[in-house]
Structure 1
């Protein structure tokens, strides 16, 4: 199963440059890297990145995260994946731009099928 992280361009570039990251400012504050499932990604983009352009959607294989990945109750009492270690570039299965068109982030073509 793939899980997803939304990064601003500078955060994605920093991960690519250093090979690892403790995440975005909210991740640093909370002590883990926030992820979303495929069904949660659109709402996460709308809620936390409204009208923010230049985003990237990063896919990670949940099984590869091992015991460092915890599923915890969050927004709407849904379980969200949280990574309790640094995210490494080696963890990234793929990364795609998340364009903003008419105020709505556009998930990559075939996103739902590719996330299985």
Structure 2
């Protein structure tokens, strides 16, 4: 199963350059890296990244991913949280997440 992380372009570039990341500022504050499922990703974008352009959608395969916990969050839904740095080799794929007419356009491969 794929899970998804939305990064601002500088955060994505830092992961590419450094080979690992502790995440975005919210992740550092909470002590884990926030992810969403395919069903949760659009709401996450709308809630936490409204109006922001220059974003990247990062896909990570859960199979074999250590230190991943599913924990309740918005409305009691279970969200994937990674309790270790995200490594570049964890990334299955990454694509731009453009802002089109006020909403983020998610890649067709998520469908």
Name the TM-score class by shorter chain.
Answer: over 0.9
The alpha-carbon deviation at position 111 of structure 1 amounts to: 1.4
Match status 1:15 vs 2:15: yes
Q: How does 1:10-89 map to 2 (within 5 A)?
A: 10-66=10-66, 68-89=67-88
User: How far apart, CA to CA, are the structure 1 residues paired with 2:110 and 2:78?
Assistant: 20
User: How far apart, CA to CA, are the structure 2 residues paired with 1:2 and 1:111?
Assistant: 9
User: How far apart, CA to CA, are the structure 2 residues paired with 1:3 and 1:109?
Assistant: 15
4+ runs deviating over 3 angstroms: none
Structure 2, gaps ≥5 residues long: none
Correspondence for 1:5: 5
Correspondence for 1:100: 99
Give the superposed CA RMSD. 0.6
Matched residue of 2:45: which SS? Answer: helix
Residue correspondences, number: 111
Matched residue of 2:94: which SS? Answer: strand
Matched residue of 1:64: which SS? Answer: coil
User: How far apart, CA to CA, are the structure 2 residues paired with 1:9 and 1:87?
Assistant: 16
The alpha-carbon deviation at position 75 of structure 1 amounts to: 0.5
TM-score normalised by the chain length of structure 2: 0.98
User: How far apart, CA to CA, are the structure 1 residues paired with 2:94 and 2:70?
Assistant: 22
User: How far apart, CA to CA, are the structure 2 residues paired with 1:64 and 1:107?
Assistant: 25
The alpha-carbon deviation at position 98 of structure 1 amounts to: 0.2
